[in-house]
Structure 1
Amino acid sequence: MPADELRVGESRTLRFEGRPHGSGISFFLVENTPGQGPGLHRHPYSETWTVLEGEATIRAGGETLVARAGDTAVVGAGVWHGFTNTGSGVLRIMCVHASDVMIQEWLHEQ
């Protein structure tokens, strides 16, 4: 499927939900500039990240870790998490949701 069909608005981020395509997973392929990233949120399923380019500081539960190109991190179901591009260039990160639909709850909406 063409990237333009998955693009989120005018951003460089792609969003794929698996259910309509017979896939058991969903994902975001994110491109962020320094300082960008999603705030704290959680899902009722696990999420796995792989950094493709750049550097991300990931917060998950009470832990903070820095992940760079080639690194993978996993957060369990129900754990508050988020990440920020803390590098000096573009962050490209694949965020795989272990669900055929995306379900997100944002902390700031609590």
Structure 2
Amino acid sequence: MATETLENVEGRDIGSGVSIIRERTDVDGSGPRLHQHPYRETFVIIHGRARFTIGDDEREGGAGEVLVVPADTPHKFAVIGPETYEAVHIHESDRFVTEWLE
């Protein structure tokens, strides 16, 4: 059975300068479409794998890795199943600001 959990916490709601997305999913191929932020985003991968597109680069990220996307850089990712992908996405902003590109 496919499961997805997504928790968003904006820093301004808790007195922090960063916002966080906690993601957990076993849906192969799931992930956000191409987008960018006016600040850095850091992906801390706890479990599983995903294929990341960061600017013109494409790479696989797996458990224990940390990937940093520079500000104003188009990016997306897709979960590589069948393992569950679990990660914390740290946005260097007290609120989410996203420009969707596709």
Question: Is TM (by shorter chain) over 0.5?
Answer: yes
Displacement of 1:55: 0.3
Aligned-partner SS, 2:5: coil
Query: Paired residue for 2:11?
Result: 18
TM-score normalised by structure 1 residue count: 0.85
Aligned length: 98
Deviations 1:68-97 (A, max 9, x none): 100000010100001110132211111100
Please tell me whether residue 106 in structure 1 is matched to residue 100 in structure 2: yes
TM-score normalised by structure 2 residue count: 0.92
Aligned equivalents of 1:89, 1:34: Cα separation in 2:
8
Considering fraction of residues, name the structure with more helix: 1
Displacement of 1:52: 0.7
For structure 2, the 5+ residue unaligned runs are: none
Aligned equivalents of 2:72, 2:45: Cα separation in 1:
22
Query: Paired residue for 2:87?
Result: 93
For structure 1, the 5+ residue unaligned runs are: 1-10
Considering fraction of residues, name the structure with more strand: 2
Structure 1 runs (4+) greater than 4 angstroms displaced: none
What is the root-mean-square deviation in Å for CA atoms of aligned residues?
0.9
